[in-house]
Each structure stands twice: as structure tokens, then as C-alpha cells.
Structure 1
Amino acid sequence: MMKDVQSVTREQVEDLMFLEAELLDEWRLREWLALFTDDGAYYVPTTDCAPDASPDSALFYVADDRFRLEQRVERLLKRTAHAEFPRSKTRHLVSNVRIRSRGEQELQVGAAVITNRTKMGLTETYIGSYRYRIVAGENGLRIKEKRCLLDMDGLKPNGRISIIL
């Protein structure tokens, strides 16, 4: 039972991030969704956005509030999700985790990430960083916001992201 973000260690944050990577790689998307708060958000800004840009004023590849996150998970788990059926094989590698700041209610956390996606003989690599807003509650650490900042000039020619980064 954890309620105070002041006592959260980097190791506890890493455990959350490593669990998240495992759940995504194993396509346990409903369990992944449970890591988010009820008002959680998942953002992937375009590669030319400022890191702190708002989806209200800038173009994003993904700008999901909790409702849209739930819809994305349900859609990806269906056989009719043609972009992900059969499912891609992914490997999320998370490193350089650090607590960037501590507020009264939440942590600002950063990490480096490489996500490999393999499907139909083609492997794509997404490189970048994560920025999280993490809160502590009755059930441990939860993600209030996840922002994936891509360190790429752009996406491959298909120009889309069909997996969760």
C-alpha cells in the first residue's frame, strides 16, 4: 500500500516500467490498461513537436484519453484489427530511468526506450524517450500520463503506428 510519492524509489518506478514493457510485449493489453489511472492519457506527438506540446494545439500520432485508450485496447485485441492480426512481435527495451521531479501528488519520470516491432519478415525500430506522470495510490504506482517522444526524422513510409509504444 503506497500513498506518498516522496517515498517512491527509482527501483519501484523501474519495476512499474519493466512490468509495462512485459505486458505490452505479451499483448496483455487489458492488464497494461489497468496500470493507468481512471483519467490516464497516452500521447505520441509527431516527431517535429516540442516535448511538452499539447494535443489541443499540435499534431499528434496518438492522443488518447482514458476512453480512447480503452477503445484502442479492445480494437487491438480483435481479429478484425487488420494492422495487428496476426499480432506483431514486439520488444520494449527501457533504460536510463530517472525521477526527474517530485511534486506533492505525482512524479515526473523519464527513460530512454527502443521498441522493436517484427511482422511478416519486416522489423521496424522506434527509438526515443518516455515521459511519465506517475501517482501513488492504494494499489501502488499508476500511470497518469505516458508520453512517447520519438527520436526519428519521421515514420516509415506507411506513416502509422499500429502498436502501443
Structure 2
Amino acid sequence: MTVTTVTRQDVVDFLYTEAKILDEWRLKEWADLFTDDGTYLIPPIGEPDADPLTSLFYAHDNRSRLQERAERLLKKEAHVEFPHSTTLRNYHNIIVNNLESDVISVELNFTAHRTKREVMDTFIGKAYYDLVLQNNELAIQHKKVILQLDSLRPHGKISLIL
């Protein structure tokens, strides 16, 4: 696959594979989807353009931190996620731009359902990706998740990767 041969369907399939990997708690594989300079961001609710230098982000990870996050969530010591939640992610309204460019930009809406201990949480929002080719495979250079919620209820935290 080269930049000129990447199709919209290739991008959509890549994103659906990412969702499947996350739902199956294959978090180390998820981290491997990122480039070495990859980033993963979740800004505060209601502040999608917040500055990470002045605002507290739910996640503001470079490649090594997102790898550490993935490994930590897989350990028994991560009590909030052991045993793991059951999750189901849906990606929809996928818009793919710049297929002919070195950096493919994607915008999508998502719904992530999480159930644990007979409680169901639903996270909704938008995700923005910059995808690049790395070793002839699509890879995530940047992922930003914008939660479209009034607040995080009932517990006020995010204990899984969105």
C-alpha cells in the first residue's frame, strides 16, 4: 500500500480494526498502531481546544506514555479495570480527507458502551485522527477524542481507552 493507493475503505477498515482491538482488550496491539511520535489526547469536557499546558487533560500521552497506559490497564493492580469491563465501540459518520496526502485526516463520531458490575456507562463524542503510512501500513500519528457529554457520571473518571 502506498499513499496513492490508500482508499477510503482501507481507512475505515483500519478504524474498525482499532475498535475491535480495544473491545478485546488487546491494548498492547492498540499502542502498536501508533507511530513513534504518536499522540493520544482527551481534553477536558467542554474545552475541545484546551491547552495542555494550562488545562488538565483526561489523557495527554506521547507514544511511550500511551504504551505505559496500555500495559498498566492490563495488570491486576488496575483495580478499576480488573476484571476488565465489557465494551462495545461504534464508529460512525466517518469523514476521510487528504487520501492523496502524506497525512490522512479523519473525523468520526463514536459511541462507546461500557458495562461493569451491572452498571452501564455510555461515552459519546468525536474523534480526530491523523493517519500516515509506516512500513506500508496505516498508523496513527495523532488521535484526539472530544467527549460530547455534560459530565462524567456517575464516578467522574475514565478508566478505559476511548
Equivalent residue for 2:147? 150
Give the C-alpha shift of residue 34 in structure 1.
Answer: 1.1
Q: Is the 8 A contact 2:128 2:144 kept in 1?
A: yes
SS in 1 for 2:115: strand
Equivalent residue for 2:83? 86
Equivalent residue for 2:26? 28
C-alpha change, 1:8 and 1:103, in structure 2 (3 Å) is: closer
Q: Name segments (4+ residues, structure 1) moved above 3 Å.
A: 100-104
1:12 pairs, out of 10, 13, 16, with 10
Give me the TM-score of the superposition, normalised by structure 1: 0.91
2:113 pairs, out of 112, 116, 119, with 116
Give the C-alpha shift of residue 158 in structure 1.
Answer: 1.6
Percent identity of equivalent pairs = 43
Q: Is the 8 A contact 1:3 1:137 kept in 2?
A: no
Q: Is the 8 A contact 2:130 2:142 kept in 1?
A: yes
Matching residue's letter, 1:69: L
Stretches of structure 2 that go unaligned for 5 or more consecutive residues are none
Give me the TM-score of the superposition, normalised by structure 2: 0.93
Root mean square deviation of aligned Cα: 1.5
What is the count of residue pairs matched by the alignment? 162
Aligned partners of 1:131, 1:100: CA distance in 2, in Å?
11
Stretches of structure 1 that go unaligned for 5 or more consecutive residues are none
Give the C-alpha shift of residue 57 in structure 1.
Answer: 3.7
Matching residue's letter, 2:73: L
2:2 counterpart of 1:3: yes
2:147 counterpart of 1:141: no
Equivalent residue for 2:157? 160
Give the C-alpha shift of residue 102 in structure 1.
Answer: 5.2
Give the C-alpha shift of residue 67 in structure 1.
Answer: 1.1
